[in-house]
Amino acid sequence: MATLNIENVRTALAEAEKRAAAAWANADGIRAGMIKEGVDLQEEENFNKISEAFKVYDQAKEEAAQLGSKLGELAAIEQMYRAPGAGGGLPQGATPGGDRARQRLGHRFTSSEQYQRLHRDGVFSGGEAMGVQIIGRGFDRPIEVMSRDEIGALLEAGRFGATTITGGGATSAGPFIQNDLMPGFIAYLRETPRVAQVVGQGTTDSDVVEYVTQSAVTNAAAETAEDTQASEATYAYATNTTNVKEITHFVPITLRAMANAGQLRGVIENELVIDVLDRLDSEVAAGNGSGQNFTGITATSGIGTFALGAYTRLDAIHRAITTVRTAAGVRLESDYIGMHPNDWQKVRLEKDSNGNYLMGPAGMAGDKQVWGVPVIASSVFTEGTIVAGNFNRGATLWLREGLSVNAGLDGNDFTKRRISLLAAMRAAFVAHRPTAFCTVTSF
C-alpha cells in the first residue's frame, strides 16, 4: 500500500486533473458539434448523449476535488509541525482594514457618539423613567454597525458573525443577571447564511435597479458563397426593473440591559444582525415575491424544472446540471447545488445492492459535493425540491444601504420602562438568468 504523503497526493491530483481536462474537451466538443449542426440540445436523445459525456468529466472532476481537499489537509498538518505554536494575526472576529474593521459589531454601537452621550448625560443613572423618556426620542441618526461595502465583503468572503444568544423573556433584563457559577448564555444556534454569499453582488444608490436582458437570439451565421447576400441575425433585448426592499426587525430591551454595554453588544451582534442576515439568505433562496418579499431563485419564473420520477437521486441531480449546461442563452457550469438538509441526507445515505454507500464510506473526509459540484445543505431550501445552477452568474444581490441599528419607543415601551432596538438593511435581488437554474421536485 502506497504511503500517503503530499507528493503522492499531488501526483494523483495532477493525473485526475489531466483526465478531467480530456473528458471536458470530449464532452464540450460533442455539445459544440450539436450546436453547429443546429440540433435541439434539449431533445431526449441529444440531451442524454451530452449528459453521459459530461458524467465522465464530472466523475474525474469530483475525484480531483477530493484529492485537492486531501492535499490541503496534508499541507496544513505539515505546516503545523513546521511552525509549532506560531501565532499572530488579528483578534477573533476582526478583519483587515483599520481600527473600525477590528471592532466587533456590538462594540461599534456601544462606542458610538450617540450611545456614549447617553452615559455622559447620566441617562442610565438618573432613573429608568427619565432614561426611557430620553432614549425614546430616538437617536439623531441610526448607528451604522455594518457599511454596505462591509456587508458585500462579508458575503463574498463567507465570514458571518457568531451564533445567537437568547434569554428567558423578550422584555426582561433577567436573562442578563448571572449567578457566580456560569457566565454567559446557552446559545440558540442559527444556521450560517450561505446562499447570499454565492450569488453575484453589486451596489446601488437608487431604490429601483434597471437591467437589460437579451430575450431572444436568431443565429444566422452560415457559410456564404461569393457575391451572395449574407443572412441577417436578430438579437432582441428587454428592459427590466427590480425594487429595493427593506429587511427590518426590532427587539425590546430594558433600560437596565441597555446600560450594560457588554450585554447590549451581545444582543446587537448575535440577534439583531444575524437575524437580518438570516432573513436575507432565505429570501434570496426562496422568497415568494409577494408584497415586500424578494422573488427568490426557486420562485423565479422561467427556471428549468422536472420531477424526480423514475430517476435515481444522483441521476436526477446530474440531469439538472446538464439542463443548465444545455439551456439556450446560458450553457453554464453549475457552481452550487442547493437542498434542504433532509434531502442531502437522502443523497448521502443511498446504498448500492451490496449495502455500500454510493457517496463513499461514512468516514470519508471532504466537503459536501455531488458530481464535483459543491452542495449547500440549508433549511432555507424547501424540503423535497433541490436546485442546481450557476448562482454567481445567474442572480445578483444589490446592496442599497448597510445594516444600521436605531433606538426608540414602540407601543407601551414607555410604561414598561424599556427601549426598542431596530435593525434594518436595504437591498434588491433578482435571478436575471432564470435558465441558469434547474430544480428537481418530489425529491
CA pair distance 254, 268, nearest whole angstrom: 14
Question: Do the Cβ atoms of 435 and 303 come closer than 8 Å?
Answer: yes
> Is the sign of the CA dihedral 360, 362, 364, 365 positive or negative?
positive
Question: Do the Cβ atoms of 406 and 139 come closer than 8 Å?
Answer: yes
SS3 439: strand
Please give the single-letter amino acid code of residue 292. Answer: Q
Tell me what the pLDDT averaged over the chain comes to: 78
Look at residue 203 and tell me whether its pLDDT is greater than 70: yes
Please report which confidence band the pLDDT of residue 389 belongs to, taking 50, 70 and 90 as the band edges.
Answer: very high
SS3 97: coil
Look at residue 48 and tell me whether its pLDDT is greater than 80: yes
How many residues are given for the chain? 443
- pLDDT (mean) for 44-52: 85
Look at residue 443 and tell me whether its pLDDT is greater than 90: yes
- If asked whether residues 370 and 435 sit together in one domain, one would say yes
**pLDDT of amino acid 96:** 42
| 116-148 residues labelled b (16+ CB within 10 A) or e (exposed) | eebeeeebbeeebebbbebbbeebeebbbbbeb
- pLDDT (mean) for 61-82: 70
- Per-residue pLDDT reduced to its tens digit, 213-268: 877 777 778 888 888 888 888 878 888 889 999 999 888 887 777 777 766 777 77
Question: Do the Cβ atoms of 139 and 116 come closer than 8 Å?
Answer: no
More confident residue, 124 or 200: 200
**pLDDT of amino acid 191:** 59
Burial of 205 (0-12, 13-18, 19+ CB in 10 A): exposed
Q: Is 255 left (phi over 0), alpha (psi -120 to 50) or beta?
A: alpha
Question: Do the Cβ atoms of 199 and 284 come closer than 8 Å?
Answer: yes
Chosen domain end from 84, 99, 126:
84
Residue 355 inside a domain? The answer is yes
- If asked whether residues 437 and 298 sit together in one domain, one would say yes
- If asked whether residues 152 and 65 sit together in one domain, one would say no
- If asked whether residues 46 and 154 sit together in one domain, one would say no
Domain containing residue 337: CATH number: 3.30.2320.10
CA pair distance 26, 56, nearest whole angstrom: 10
- If asked whether residues 291 and 146 sit together in one domain, one would say yes
By mean pLDDT, which of 66-70, 190-194, 336-340 is the weakest? 190-194
**pLDDT of amino acid 127:** 57
Residue 96 inside a domain? The answer is no
- Domain count within the chain: 2
- If asked whether residues 371 and 242 sit together in one domain, one would say yes
- If asked whether residues 37 and 146 sit together in one domain, one would say no
* Residue written as grid cell 443511498: 350
- pLDDT (mean) for 195-199: 89
Please report which confidence band the pLDDT of residue 50 belongs to, taking 50, 70 and 90 as the band edges.
Answer: confident
Residue 186 inside a domain? The answer is no
More confident residue, 320 or 188: 320
Residue 97 inside a domain? The answer is no
CA pair distance 322, 23, nearest whole angstrom: 15
Residue 257 inside a domain? The answer is no
Task: Give the DSSP letter string of 30-75.
Answer: HHHHHHHHT--TTSHHHHHHHHHHHHHHHHHHHHHHHHHHHHHHHH
- If asked whether residues 145 and 66 sit together in one domain, one would say no
- Per-residue pLDDT reduced to its tens digit, 311-364: 999 999 999 999 999 887 777 889 999 999 999 999 999 999 999 988 888 877
Question: Do the Cβ atoms of 425 and 280 come closer than 8 Å?
Answer: yes
- If asked whether residues 369 and 442 sit together in one domain, one would say yes
**pLDDT of amino acid 431:** 93
- If asked whether residues 62 and 147 sit together in one domain, one would say no
Q: Which three cell numbers stand for residue 257?
A: 440591559
Residue 126 inside a domain? The answer is no
Look at residue 271 and tell me whether its pLDDT is greater than 70: yes
Q: Whole-model pTM? A: 0.68
The range of the structural domain enclosing residue 373 comes to 141-160+191-214+233-247+278-443
- Per-residue pLDDT reduced to its tens digit, 146-186: 777 777 776 766 544 333 333 344 444 455 444 444 444 44
User: Would you tell me the crossing angle of helices 313-326 and 44-82 to the nearest 10 degrees?
Assistant: 100
Residue 77 inside a domain? The answer is yes
- Per-residue pLDDT reduced to its tens digit, 115-147: 777 777 666 665 555 555 555 555 666 777 777
- If asked whether residues 352 and 428 sit together in one domain, one would say yes
**pLDDT of amino acid 319:** 94
Please give the single-letter amino acid code of residue 380. Answer: V
How many helices (H) and strands (E) the chain has is answered by 14, 13
Which of 106, 79, 129 minimizes the C-alpha distance to 419? 129
CA pair distance 162, 272, nearest whole angstrom: 12
CA pair distance 382, 195, nearest whole angstrom: 13
- If asked whether residues 357 and 438 sit together in one domain, one would say yes
Please report which confidence band the pLDDT of residue 99 belongs to, taking 50, 70 and 90 as the band edges.
Answer: low
CA pair distance 228, 235, nearest whole angstrom: 22
**pLDDT of amino acid 109:** 77
Please report which confidence band the pLDDT of residue 441 belongs to, taking 50, 70 and 90 as the band edges.
Answer: very high
CA pair distance 58, 55, nearest whole angstrom: 5
CA pair distance 263, 246, nearest whole angstrom: 27
Q: Which three cell numbers stand for residue 115?
A: 450611545
**pLDDT of amino acid 159:** 40
Residue 380 inside a domain? The answer is yes
Task: Give the DSSP letter string of 64-111.
Answer: HHHHHHHHHHHHHHHHHHHSTT---SPPTT--SSSHHHHS-HHHHHHT
More confident residue, 432 or 262: 432
